[in-house]
C-alpha cells in the first residue's frame, strides 16, 4: 500500500527496438512478404514503412504493389510471420533488463505499450523472464490511436492509473517519439539508458 498523499509513479515502455531486439525482423518481413507475392520490393521500402504501424503498412503494401489480398488479410499475414520471432527468437537489448529493474526499484507501475499483438508481446516478455516487471500490456489497437498521436499515450496513462507529471515514456521510433513528446511527459530513448543507469 502506498503512503497516503504519495504520488504513484509510472513508466510507459515501448517494446520493439527499445527493450527487445526485433527491429531487424520488422524491417525484413515486409520485403520478404512483397517477394512472396511475386512483386519486386522498392529499394526504399524499409524507409517508406518506418513511420507506419502494421495496418498502415498493409495499406501501403496493397496500394504500392497492387496486392490481391485485402488489407485485413495482409495485417493477419504480417502478424503471423512475426509471431514466431517473439515466441522463439526475440532477445532483450543491452541494458534493457537493468532499466526495467531500476524502474521497478523506483516504485513505478510499468505499462508495456506496443504496436504488436498483445499475445505475442506477452510471450516475448515471458520467454525473456521479464513479464513480472509489467503491470499492464497494451497495444495501439486497444487505444484506437497510432503512436504518433499523443492520445495513444494518454489512454495508456489512464489505464495505468498514474499522472503525466509522474510518468516517463521509453521509446525509440522517431515517429512515436514525436507523439510521446506532445504529451509533455519525459521521453527516454535507448541511447540514454547508460546515463539513466549512472554508467556515464
Q: For 74-124, how does the pLDDT look when each residue is reduced to its tens digit (9 = 90+)?
A: 999 999 999 999 999 999 999 999 999 999 999 999 999 999 999 999 999
* Structure confidence at residue 59 (pLDDT): 97
Q: What percent of the chain has pLDDT over 70?
A: 96
Alpha helical stretches, state H, 20-149: 23-36, 45-48, 54-65, 71-88, 96-105, 118-127, 140-143
Instruction: Please report which confidence band the pLDDT of residue 2 belongs to, taking 50, 70 and 90 as the band edges.
Output: very low
- For the cut 50, the answer to whether the pLDDT of residue 200 exceeds it is no
* Structure confidence at residue 120 (pLDDT): 95
Which residues are registered as beta bridge partners of 137?
112
- For the cut 80, the answer to whether the pLDDT of residue 19 exceeds it is yes
Q: For 27-49, how does the pLDDT look when each residue is reduced to its tens digit (9 = 90+)?
A: 999 999 999 999 999 999 999 99
Q: Report the alpha-carbon distance of residue 10 to residue 126 in Å, rounded.
A: 21
SS3 67: coil
Q: Report the alpha-carbon distance of residue 56 to residue 2 in Å, rounded.
A: 41
The DSSP symbol for 192 reads: G
Structural domain boundaries in the chain = 10-21+91-196, 23-88
- For the cut 50, the answer to whether the pLDDT of residue 3 exceeds it is no
Give 1 or 22, the one with higher predicted confidence.
22
Chain position carrying cell 526485433? 22
Q: 86-90, 166-170, 178-182: which range is least confident on average? A: 86-90
* Structure confidence at residue 141 (pLDDT): 95
- Which residues touch 86 (CB under 8 Å, ≥6 apart)? 22, 116, 120, 121, 123, 124, 127
Instruction: Please report which confidence band the pLDDT of residue 1 belongs to, taking 50, 70 and 90 as the band edges.
Output: very low
**Residues 142-167, mean pLDDT to the nearest whole number:** 97
* Structure confidence at residue 8 (pLDDT): 79
Q: Which CATH fold would you assign to the domain 10-21+91-196?
A: Rossmann fold (3.40.50)
Compute the C-alpha angle 134/82/189, nearest 5°.
50
Q: What percent of the chain has pLDDT over 90?
A: 92
Amino acid at each position: 500500500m502506498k503512503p497516503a498523499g504519495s504520488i504513484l509513479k509510472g513508466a510507459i515502455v515501448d517494446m520493439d527496438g527499445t527493450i527487445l531486439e526485433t527491429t531487424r525482423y520488422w524491417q525484413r518481413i515486409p520485403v520478404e512478404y512483397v517477394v512472396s507475392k511475386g512483386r519486386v520490393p522498392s529499394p526504399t521500402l524499409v524507409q517508406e514503412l518506418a513511420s507506419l504501424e502494421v495496418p498502415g503498412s498493409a495499406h501501403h503494401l496493397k496500394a504500392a504493389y497492387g496486392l490481391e489480398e485485402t488489407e485485413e488479410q495482409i495485417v493477419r499475414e504480417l502478424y503471423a510471420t512475426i509471431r514466431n520471432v517473439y515466441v522463439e527468437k526475440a532477445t532483450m537489448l543491452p541494458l534493457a533488463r537493468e532499466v526495467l529493474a531500476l524502474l521497478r526499484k523506483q516504485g513505478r507501475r510499468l505499462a508495456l505499450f506496443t504496436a504488436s499483438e498483445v499475445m505475442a508481446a506477452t510471450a516475448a516478455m515471458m520467454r525473456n523472464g521479464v513479464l513480472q516487471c509489467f503491470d499492464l500490456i497494451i497495444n495501439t489497437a486497444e487505444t484506437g490511436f497510432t503512436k504518433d498521436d499523443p492520445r495513444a499515450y494518454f489512454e495508456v496513462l489512464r489505464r495505468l492509473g498514474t499522472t503525466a507529471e509522474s510518468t516517463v515514456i521509453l521509446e525509440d521510433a522517431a515517429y512515436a517519439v514525436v507523439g510521446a513528446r506532445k504529451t509533455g511527459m519525459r521521453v527516454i530513448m535507448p541511447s540514454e539508458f547508460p546515463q539513466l543507469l549512472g554508467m556515464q
